[in-house]
Amino acid sequence: MEEKLELMIEDARDKNERALAKLISHVEDRKTGWKDIMKSIYAKTGQTCVIGVTGSPGAGKSSLVGEFAKKLANLGYSIGIIAVDPSSPFSGGAVLGDRIRMRDISTYQNIFIRSMATRGMLGGLCQAARDVVRIMDFAGRDIVIIETVGVGQDEIEVVSAADYVVLVTYPGGGDSVQAIKAGVMEIADLFVVNKCDRDGADVIVSEISAMLDLSGDAGSETPQVIRTSALTKEGIDNLVDILSDFMNRKKKCPHLQMECVRQEVISIVEKEMASLIQERIAGNGNMEKELKLILSGKSDPYSAAEKLMNRFTVTKNLERSTGRRL
């Protein structure tokens, strides 16, 4: 590994936030040596508690994260926040609105905020988020909070990398309860009805509680449903107490669980294989030939995908037998 990268790693470990930001950018942008960085720091990670915060847009996730992050920081915890912002499909740029809404906590010495634009990465965002979590873990952050864009499939994949998942909803959100049914309900550990100073908060709490009672397995622990308001600060202390209790319980358990490691390895393999296949079939002209056949009505996407995969497999076997790249 380059001496420059080694120095950056050492500085990040020594709580240098500028070095930490540069290290994250280097890995996130997949610059030369990024894998060496991840390999070198992995053995020194596994200590942090990862909290995923998800919910529909408008639920007040950023404001809520800002409030309970301040409380946790005042308790002495060192915190990293990953704010996932939607990016333009055309320019790739992001509004990074979460950073704006959390500007009042940016002065805290023990809170480090990092925005991540989705950049159309889809499932790749999950692994990118895992990498950033790992780096913050290495840099000594006790807690890493991942705040996602919404409650779509991508967000569910991202928060599945968390130890504890908080689902935020709010009164007046229309189909907010229906959105919960779409999939995130199964992975949420805590349901928070934010903006409880509005009318209808009690109704949302009752509806979610009823859903949990109907869907819960016999003998399993039912997730709590609590009320909060980032505006009036109601319920924030209760939320912090629940999170602190979970962190204390996590300290008594193994830091690296078999299933979590399995999912991370599978995620890396899937991303690497997808990149490799994309590079090969785009570089040899076969993709364009298949696309022309589809457009002329002589083929279909399913047949084309099968042919491309077969060609890729044959090419790999020939390379393995001849010892040279084709």
- pLDDT-derived band at 179 (thresholds 50, 70, 90) equals low
Choose the weakest-confidence range: 127-131, 200-204, 313-317.
313-317
Choose the weakest-confidence range: 95-99, 246-250, 280-284.
95-99
More confident residue, 2 or 233: 233
Considering the domain boundaries, does residue 242 fall inside one? Answer: yes
Q: Are residues 181 and 170 in the same domain?
A: yes
- Give the pLDDT confidence score for residue 307 in this predicted structure: 87
Q: Are residues 145 and 285 in the same domain?
A: no
More confident residue, 60 or 276: 60
- pLDDT-derived band at 132 (thresholds 50, 70, 90) equals very high
Enumerate residues 6+ apart whose C-beta is below 8 A from 123.
154, 157, 267, 270, 271
Q: Are residues 74 and 223 in the same domain?
A: yes
Task: Kindly state the DSSP code that residue 164 receives in the 8-state scheme.
Answer: E
* Boundary-marking domain end, from 252, 287, 306: 252
Burial state string for 253-268 with b = 16 or more CB within 10 A and e = fewer than 16? eeeeeeebeebbeebe
- pLDDT-derived band at 92 (thresholds 50, 70, 90) equals very low
Query: Structural domain of residue 40, as residue ranges?
Result: 1-44
Q: Are residues 87 and 190 in the same domain?
A: yes
Tokens of 181: 């049914």
Considering the domain boundaries, does residue 20 fall inside one? Answer: yes
- Give the pLDDT confidence score for residue 210 in this predicted structure: 87
pLDDT(317) > 90: no
- Give the pLDDT confidence score for residue 214 in this predicted structure: 79
- Give the pLDDT confidence score for residue 93 in this predicted structure: 45
Considering the domain boundaries, does residue 297 fall inside one? Answer: yes
Considering the domain boundaries, does residue 282 fall inside one? Answer: yes
Q: Are residues 40 and 50 in the same domain?
A: no
- Tally the C-alpha atoms within 13 A of residue 28's C-alpha that lie toward its C-beta: 22
- Give the pLDDT confidence score for residue 19 in this predicted structure: 95
- Give the pLDDT confidence score for residue 122 in this predicted structure: 44
- pLDDT-derived band at 282 (thresholds 50, 70, 90) equals confident
Q: What is the mean pLDDT of residues 23-31?
A: 91
Q: What is the mean pLDDT of residues 259-281?
A: 82
Q: Are residues 10 and 115 in the same domain?
A: no
Q: Are residues 289 and 238 in the same domain?
A: no
| Listed residue (162, 108, 8, 318) closest to 326, CA to CA | 318
How many structural domains does the chain have?
A: 3
Q: Are residues 80 and 201 in the same domain?
A: yes
Q: What is the mean pLDDT of residues 157-177?
A: 77
Tokens of 284: 């040899």
Say if CB 95 and CB 85 are below 8 A apart.
yes
pLDDT(278) > 70: yes
Q: Are residues 268 and 154 in the same domain?
A: no
* Boundary-marking domain end, from 231, 252, 273: 252
Average pLDDT of the chain is: 82
Considering the domain boundaries, does residue 258 fall inside one? Answer: no
More confident residue, 22 or 213: 22
| Listed residue (51, 44, 57) closest to 82, CA to CA | 51
pLDDT(171) > 70: yes
| Coil/strand/helix, residue 168 | strand
Q: What is the mean pLDDT of residues 238-267?
A: 82
Considering the domain boundaries, does residue 257 fall inside one? Answer: no
Choose the weakest-confidence range: 34-38, 45-49, 69-73, 183-187.
183-187
pLDDT(176) > 60: no
Q: What is the pTM of this model?
A: 0.83
What percent of the chain lies above the pLDDT cut of 70? 79
The CATH number of the domain where 105 resides is what? 3.40.50.300
Q: Are residues 144 and 23 in the same domain?
A: no
Choose the weakest-confidence range: 63-72, 138-147, 155-164.
155-164
- Give the pLDDT confidence score for residue 216 in this predicted structure: 66
Considering the domain boundaries, does residue 259 fall inside one? Answer: no
Q: Are residues 196 and 305 in the same domain?
A: no
Q: Are residues 57 and 7 in the same domain?
A: no
- pLDDT-derived band at 183 (thresholds 50, 70, 90) equals low
In this structure, the dihedral spanned by the alpha carbons of residues 294, 297, 301 and 303, taken in order and rounded to 10 degrees, is -110
Considering the domain boundaries, does residue 314 fall inside one? Answer: yes
| Coil/strand/helix, residue 297 | coil
Q: What is the mean pLDDT of residues 267-280?
A: 82
* Boundary-marking domain end, from 9, 26, 44: 44
